Structure 1
Amino acid sequence: MSDKISPPLDRDQLIMQAAALADHLARAGVQWMPRPNADAVESLKSRFQTVAAAGSAASRAAAPVAKTAPAPVAASSGAPSGGSVGPAKQPPRRPALNPTLLSDHAKPYPGPSLPVVERESELATLATEVAGCQRCPQLVRCRTKTVFGEGNAAARVVFFGEGPGADEDRSGRPFVGKAGQLLTKMIQACKFAREEVYILNTVKCRPPGNRNPEPEEIANCRPYFERQIELIRPEYIVCLGAVSGQSLLDSKLSVGRLRGQFHPYFDSKVIVTYHPAYLLRNPAAKKAAWEDLQMMLRDAGLI
């Protein structure tokens, strides 16, 4: 049996993947890029300014020469003598950048990016604090174990869910039930191993009856999940379901309104898609969820 050989990457794909790798290494605290030469930077800056000034001057000189374009010829059923004249073709427009990624909210995470070993130590300390948390009396009474989160402390992608279920409450691990099995398949479809990403929820204790977390409960857990994300500093955060998406983005919009575009959370890009539990109940929505993940993979230069 012969193995299929993938076609070679073109120039643009290589550039995108190299840029994505450089960004990921920088987020992980790896200092490997050489420092710029100050003289060379100033020289290039001066050259660009000169070219830009010359272009502006040429545009101003050409402006008075421009004449009013003739009115377009109205379309008719019969072709006029001398040949038909069609409307001038307009060049295709490039898609506009998402304005949310250019807002003031897309700012760097506070403080320095820690080495991986220090991130792991900080996360372990925080997990111990969560295990003894007593902020939500009802959740404390009914929980078996707290579910802090798990995965790579330098993950490029974080999957952010709603809250632990019965299987998670027993094991102390996130997404290990049927919904978790589907999430693992989704992660693998993105060409990641589960150990390469980080998985957490908005609340660390199982709400009784698997109900949605109350706003007060999410507020009590907010310092924990915000600190986890701040330590990891992922390039992408995939919010699974309305609870996580609305909580992280401080929004009241539905998943249907939030999905299909990037949203900023500091300098991470947030994707909101359907929760795996919802996909188990509504298999037709799997196509939309896969489109959301593919949008992330294209942006990361992985497809």
Structure 2
Amino acid sequence: MKRLMWLLAVAVTGCQASVRYPAANLADDSYQAGEQWQLVWADEFDKAELNDANWSRRVAKAGRFNAEWQRYTDDESNAYIDNGCLVIKAIHEGESHGENRYTSARLETAQKQSWRYGKVAARIQLPYGQGIWPAFWMVGINGKRHGGDTRWPFCGEIDIMELWGSKDDGAVEATIHYADRNSKHAWIHPQTFKLPAGRFADAFHVFEIEWDEQQIRWMVDGQLYATQPITADEFGEFHQEFFILLNIAVGGKDPDFRPDERSVFPQYMYVDWVRVYQQGKS
């Protein structure tokens, strides 16, 4: 069905669609979770509008998170459904670069959908370029920003995928954030996955974790590239329910990660689907 919708989009909009969508693999989805995994939740983005039972649009002013330059809006120009995909769109407003000159979207399943352990996966075509920072990640449900009573990073954060366009459009990173034994913000970046050639903006890829009582494992297109044990006491926050987030950030604290004359806008993050699996459940 998604292949048919994409072909119709090409017929209607011509070369514009061939630029915005990868011509080869939008419908070339051969993902298999494995026989031991049972699907417990999914959003295939096959309806006309975003499913409000699954997602909230976070609204935040520029600088609210990590000194980022974008405003997160609840406007459908920044997040919408198109041709069977969720589209997150980062827009440059104006001619100059700087804080509060961009809009984007941050979607969350907070207080709607959350899980403890499992396989969490999404099929995504990423944006690219100087100052562009897309992410597919998770945060503990007890965080104050999302209705809980615990400040970040005591709630824990799992970055399933982050791409720093300012560094390498062909590389994504795995990271966890937590509070260490001294109650200080700590993070572990176990590994980076780099494509043999090209950019993550050139096609869809599957980003996923397998998360259990012992460890978190990161994969891209089924290839395991990072493992982090979580059995030590300081990793206690990773044994509660977490919710999912998807966003494109623009800029940040580091001047090297800010957009400039090299940056191309608008930027698009296409999400074909998001799925959660667990063992022995359905």
With normalisation by structure 2, the TM-score equals 0.25
Higher relative contact order (CA 8 A, sep 6+): 2
With normalisation by structure 1, the TM-score equals 0.24
More strand by share: 2
Quick check: which has more Rg, 1 or 2?
A: 1
